[in-house]
A and B are shown apart, each in its own frame.
Chain A
């Protein structure tokens, strides 16, 4: 079963706009929620991560919003740029679970100039 569900599958945004990608999880034991960014031909790279003790984390133009009661978290990319065009994956993990990550299905973002 898909323990982490991600939407939308693809997203087109104009330069300067806000990109929003959503994820929902099922396992309440998850306590680490990273977002990975992947460019074509490359491996995923950690973008930003959050733990459930905070509701929001911001790093530059990237913000994670976390809703523990709804078991949902989202990535917001402010002032989206063409260089942000990539595939984004949300993931979840449990502390002490050997670092195994459960990934969402991925979202392909295209930022048009």
Chain B
């Protein structure tokens, strides 16, 4: 696996509580992404970052916020968790997708989040 560590790997939380998932990379890649994986939907982009403090929304960003204070860390926060946010969350990194070509996206092992 590329140098990507997601934490925690599993979490159960109650509805209405805030939750923060962490993605840490050792590859010094500029781009970082948060996806969620749900049956029948594949993976859907939540938010992504193209540099320190530079982030933007993906297709399913409602109810989520992100922060990137260092190149190596990308945090995903569920402000007030709901049952619809029960999912498997994947962090991905990519080197330089804007250099006129696409480069491979490497994925972490995932975080299984259950909101009860």
Contacts and interface: CB of A to CB of B under 8 A. Distances in A.
Contacts of B56: 98
Across the A-B interface, give the 10 residue pairs with the lowest CB-CB distance, nearest first. Answer: A99-B97, A43-B107, A103-B42, A32-B102, A99-B94, A103-B43, A105-B42, A46-B104, A44-B107, A106-B42
Interface residues of B, number: 31
A100 interface: yes
Nearest to A4: B42
What's the interface size class on A, roughly? 20 to 34
Interface of A: 4, 6, 9, 32, 34, 36, 41-46, 49, 89, 93, 95-106
B41 interface: yes
Contacts of B35: 103
A41 B37 CA distance: 12
Contact of B109 (A36, A43, A95, A99): A43
B101 interface: yes
Chain B: interface secondary structure?
strand
Nearest to A31: B102
A41 to B, nearest CB: 7
B41 A105 contact: yes
A98 B98 contact: yes
Contacts of A4: 42
Nearest to B45: A100
Contacts of B104: 34, 46, 49
14 contacts: A34-B102, A42-B110, A43-B92, A43-B107, A43-B110, A49-B102, A89-B43, A95-B100, A98-B50, A98-B56, A103-B42, A103-B43, A104-B42, A106-B42
Interface in B58-116: 58, 90, 92, 94, 97-98, 100-110
